[in-house]
Amino acid sequence: MKKTVFVSLILLLTFSSCGLLGIHFKVHNPKKPGKSLKYSKEEILLGELTQYRTCYDVNYYDFSLTVDPDKKTLDGVVQIHATAQVDFDTLQLDLHSNFEITKLIDKTTNKELMFERNERAVFVHSPRKNGDSFILQISYNGQPVKAKKAPWKGGFVWEKDDEKNPWIGVACESDGASLWWPLKDHTSDEADSVRLHYTVPQGLTAVGNGQFEGETKKGDQSTFNWFVSYPINSYNVTIYVGKFRHFNDQYTGINGETLELDHYVLEKNYFAAKKHFEQLHPILKSFEELFGEYPWYRDGFKLVESPYAGMEHQTAIAYGNGYRNNGDNETDYIILHETAHEWWGNSVTVKDLADVWIQEGFATYAEALYYEKKKGTDAYNSQLSWNRIMIKNKYPVVSQKDRRCFHFRRNSDVYGKGAWILHSLRCQLEDDSLFFDIIKSFYSEFKYQIVETKDFTDLVNTKTGSDYSWFFDQYLMSNFVPELDYAYTPEGLVYYRWSNVSESYNQLKISALIKGEKITLIPSAEVQHLDLPKNNSGTWSFSFSPSSVLYALNENSKLLKEVKK
């Protein structure tokens, strides 16, 4: 009988959460990396954490805004309460050049301040001594940038509902909050609290973040007042305007605390929303069990129907997915993903968007963990399979610091590859208790704080008692994933080795399947081999599993020639 070896590279059997996935979509390294990124003057001015920004710390914003839906204009006043961190003469604020600054005053002295504008940067001459508390008040007006494709290409969205009522929203994670209001527009500085006063034509509702503090009416206008009692990153501050219908729900947390759920939807979708949003309860419960308590109990939680797909605005998530369950046919992926951001991105926020994988990768991985809790290992594996499809390996996951450079089309790997890095770490540890302790500890230790990638990698090293720098350097700092070359012979020998990584990477454990049984391999840069046992039929059955960790698998017949030498 002819001896053959069956090497399955496309269809793999389901084994375990760190074993073989149901379907494997092969990971490819690009023939060449993505083109070098070029940054505009505006991106540099927004991204750099210069002395003009580090010289002061923002404590509180008081933001009043009048929205004119007909003219599509904004007219606002922002008070910035801050504390000097050093002696300085000049500080930087940020505001898009579409807006005119009509007045900028020092509220302590009521004196008007001199300023210069360069792109979005506003350099204010306002000498202070270290420790000084001060208040700046900026009055401005103009027409904001219209979003080309919210939320990915940011700006204002000016739509109308089916009854021709204004339906307005904004999204600015990539582009910065200075797209529509003046502030210190850098993720390294979160205000401790924010008050929002949104004025719109009567008959419309203006929804903001946090707690509703009432509506006041004057003439033909209504002002809706909101208060955010926790730290908030600036791109999460938001506004929705529409003819909304409000309904209330309550969620009981894992520690017995009641969380108020206040949702705002278009009238025609009221009954659909009441049913559809029930899925929020198991989602919140799962994330609390996985990561820790929901971070914003005082400020509640709301889904607000938006004229674009979705965005994780803190306690006021934009929902625009058409009331469809397109996750596992029972789950709305927008609700799932954006709710995960309340933990990852809103509570734990990166100092620089170069590390945005901590926000997007963790939130994407949270989706898979939710499916695992809900339906088991197969559902977890299935979700990760779809994440894998999107991995491009064009750019490193961690990008250049001091540039506002988070753009979905430039580097979408912060999502899917970010999730796979966490999955790969879980499989390397082979200890779920340890892995989930790391995730929970990372959240609990950095809740309401600003983080960098190093904070997570240091925690991993501390918790494991090992140095995982080799692992994170490969997956985060290089755009290439490890490549495993292999070849096999008719006699049932399989040869394999890493082809593109350093010797320090010879610790990575991968999985394979022999005769239906899982084995663990630790490849190296040196060629290794397996002598496969025969099946009862006299054949060999074997498959690598590029699904236990993230790597590329390449058949390379040259290995056999090297072995013969």
Q: Which pLDDT tens digit goes with each residue over 427-471?
A: 999 999 999 999 999 999 999 999 999 999 999 999 999 999 999
**Reduced to 3 states, what is the DSSP secondary structure of residue 319?**
strand
Residues 542, 555: Cα–Cα separation, whole Å: 14
* Residue 5 pLDDT exceeds 50: no
Instruction: Please give the structure tokens belonging to residue 28.
Output: 């490819």
Mean pLDDT calculated for residue range 363-369: 98
pLDDT for residue 484:
92
Q: What single-letter DSSP state applies at residue 398?
A: S
At residue 546 the predicted structure's pLDDT band, cuts being 50, 70 and 90, is low
* Residue 14 pLDDT exceeds 90: no
Determine the longest span between alpha carbons in the chain, in angstroms: 96
* Residue 9 pLDDT exceeds 70: no
- Strand ranges inside 47-165, DSSP E: 56-68, 73-84, 88-94, 99-106, 111-112, 115-118, 121-128, 133-142, 155-160
Q: Compute φ and ψ for 198, nearest 5 degrees.
A: -110, 120
Residue 214 Ramachandran class (φ > 0 left, ψ -120 to 50 alpha, else beta): left
- Percent of the chain at pLDDT exceeding 90: 76
Residue-wise pLDDT for 386-397, tens only, equals: 999 889 999 999
pLDDT for residue 545:
78
At residue 490 the predicted structure's pLDDT band, cuts being 50, 70 and 90, is confident
Close Cβ partners of 376 (under 8 Å, ≥ 6 residues apart)? none
Residue with structure tokens 């506004």?
239
* Residue 93 CA, distance from chain mean position: 25
Q: Compute φ and ψ for 399, nearest 5 degrees.
A: -100, -170
* Residue 407 pLDDT exceeds 80: no
Residue-wise pLDDT for 160-195, tens only, equals: 999 999 999 999 998 999 999 999 999 999 999 999
* Least confident span in 252-261, 319-328, 433-442, 539-548: 539-548
Mean pLDDT calculated for residue range 9-31: 48
pTM (two decimals):
0.93
* Residue 24 pLDDT exceeds 60: no
pLDDT for residue 408:
60
Q: How many residues does the chain have?
A: 565
More confident residue, 523 or 562: 523
Residues 190, 138: Cα–Cα separation, whole Å: 19
Residue type, 134: F
Residues pairing with 141 in the sheet: 75, 100
Residue with structure tokens 């103009």?
142
Residue-wise pLDDT for 103-160, tens only, equals: 999 998 999 999 999 999 999 999 999 999 999 999 999 999 999 989 988 899 999 9
CB of 210 closer than 8 Å to CB of 249: no
Mean pLDDT calculated for residue range 50-67: 98
